Structure 1
């Protein structure tokens, strides 16, 4: 049994699009590659056929994994989220107590995390440490380099 994953509407849409792409475009391409390789003759010494079969196997594994994730995906109802503390989909402005640097992150599901766009996973050490904190509280987060202290400056939803 796989764990339930929570998604934003945007994240769930991306998951569905990727699954559709793999099933409706990539799967027929893989079948076509196998057919073309099979037509080239002796299968016992046909590296192209072996490669096409292996690629198809990898594709089917990816499709199965995405179908499992999709089956266990739940859409987050943003209207019921508490704005007073850090939760999934919170935009959090934090201040590193060690160096005074301020950062702004959005906490999202693991599959939607993208540090370049400021989205961190709620399952990451920092994400876990921030969950449930309120403005003014200090989150002490243990990371491989030691302990980081972040003061929660602001919590919002956008």
Structure 2
């Protein structure tokens, strides 16, 4: 299995979600199932079926989080430095076609949120940027077509 890079903050978020599911949500759903069973005929008991469905979702998410945490490789970007783009870097880019400037932070797949300016280290753009430095031009094949960017700035925060 391949290790998944993640920041310390991302690791804590996943761990906290797992803890909440196991210590709060799981006992709640067990109680809801027990209460629904007391209402009698399970074949026509919507509360019971809804609770079982939620239990199935919770158990699936618990397994998913446990697997992610087991494969997590925690990397603290604040302890990194250098001129080359790597995991945890904040990269300022200029789109050479439109002269638009954008900035992204390269994080793990579980932390990526384009609306927050973070992209997954496995995204086409991030893969194209890794190992490059300020001044390099990068051509990226994206779903909307090819784009060419110039790297303006690389920092680690």
Q: Same fold (TM over 0.5)?
A: yes
Counterpart for residue 55 of structure 2: 56
For residues 70-109 of structure 1, the aligned pairs below 5 Å read 70-78=69-77, 81=80, 83-109=82-108
Q: How many residues align?
A: 157
Structure 1 residues 36, 99: closer, same or farther in 2, change over 3 A?
Answer: same
Counterpart for residue 34 of structure 2: 35
Aligned alpha-carbon RMSD (Å):
1.4
Offset, 1:50: 1.5
Structure 2 CA distance for aligned equivalents of residues 36 and 148 of structure 1: 57
Offset, 1:45: 2.2
Counterpart for residue 110 of structure 2: 111
Structure 1: unaligned runs, 5 residues or longer: none
Structure 2: unaligned runs, 5 residues or longer: none
**In structure 1, the residue corresponding to 2:91 is in which secondary structure?**
strand
TM-score (ref. length: structure 1): 0.93
| 1:65-101 alpha-carbon deviations (Å, 9 max, x no partner) | 1011111111114476451210000011110001001
Counterpart for residue 46 of structure 2: 47
**In structure 2, the residue corresponding to 1:6 is in which secondary structure?**
strand
TM-score (ref. length: structure 2): 0.94
**In structure 2, the residue corresponding to 1:84 is in which secondary structure?**
coil
Structure 1 residues 50, 143: closer, same or farther in 2, change over 3 A?
Answer: same
**In structure 2, the residue corresponding to 1:110 is in which secondary structure?**
coil
Say if 2:7 is the partner of 1:5.
no
Shift >2 Å, 4+ stretches: 77-82
Structure 1 stretch 124-133 or stretch 60-69: which is displaced more? 124-133
